[in-house]
């Protein structure tokens, strides 16, 4: 299973950060990357803590004939087309697309697989658990539920839950 993380905390040419994330998934589909499943969207405080706006985050599982390097290049191409400029680490961004895992491949090159910090991030693990509840970290050999239970305190995340008549509300996870 190929898993990617999707995130944004700045509006872009498609509107709100959530609209940008949804448009990025649509763009990937148009480029031949099949979206198999995606999580709900989550709102999360920036990590590390800063005065940036909160992020919208999700996870999608994919089918693709691309190898990890070529998939990463495609994700970076979509980021550029959507207006992402990489200047500083952990800066606010209009879109962020990361390969979280590519089957059970462990790679220290480009890209690093699995993503080196995914097990430390609530905004990755909660949506990942929706898409792949039985997923096991190929290096740590821990199930996603165990990784969630081991998260450090203090990461603020909320799930956006659709209600009747299209109203959206947020409920606190941690």
Determine whether domain 2-172 maps to CATH 3.40.720.10.
Answer: no
Q: How confident is the model over 110-150, as pLDDT tens digits?
A: 899 999 999 999 999 999 999 999 999 999 999 999 999 99
Of the residues 96, 104, 117, 142, which is catalytic? 96
Of the residues 70, 93, 104, 153, which is catalytic? 93
Indicate if 98 belongs to the active site.
yes
Burial of residue 162 (CB within 10 Å: 0-12, 13-18, 19+) is: exposed
Domain residue spans in the chain?
2-172
Q: How does 96-108 read in b/e, with b if 16+ C-beta sit within 10 Å?
A: bbbbbbbeeeeee
Consecutive H or E run containing 145: helix 144-149
Work out the average pLDDT over 7-20.
95
Indicate if 51 belongs to the active site.
no
Indicate if 104 belongs to the active site.
no
Average pLDDT, the chain: 90
Of the residues 70, 84, 89, 136, which is catalytic? 84
- Residue in 1, 2, 8, 4 with CA at minimum distance from that of residue 95: 8
pLDDT score, position 174: 47
User: In this model, does residue 38 exceed pLDDT 90?
Assistant: yes
pTM: 0.90
Of the residues 18, 43, 98, 121, which is catalytic? 98
């Amino acid at each position: 299973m190929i898993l990617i993380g999707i995130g944004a905390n700045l509006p872009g040419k498609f509107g709100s950060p959530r609209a940008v994330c949804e448009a990025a998934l649509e763009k990937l589909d148009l480029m031949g990357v099949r979206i198999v499943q995606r999580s709900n969207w989550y709102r999360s405080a920036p990590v590390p803590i800063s005065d940036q706006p909160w992020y919208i985050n999700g996870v999608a599982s994919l089918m693709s004939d691309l190898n990890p390097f070529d998939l990463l290049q495609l994700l970076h191409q979509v980021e550029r087309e959507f207006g992402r400029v990489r200047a500083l680490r952990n800066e606010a961004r209009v879109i962020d697309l990361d390969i979280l895992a590519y089957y059970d491949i462990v790679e220290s090159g480009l890209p690093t697989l699995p993503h080196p910090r995914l097990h430390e991030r609530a905004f990755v693990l909660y949506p990942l658990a929706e898409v792949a509840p039985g997923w096991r970290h190929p290096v740590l050999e821990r199930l996603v539920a165990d990784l969630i239970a081991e998260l450090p305190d203090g990461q603020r995340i909320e799930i956006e839950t659709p209600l009747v008549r299209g109203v959206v509300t947020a409920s606190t996870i941690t």
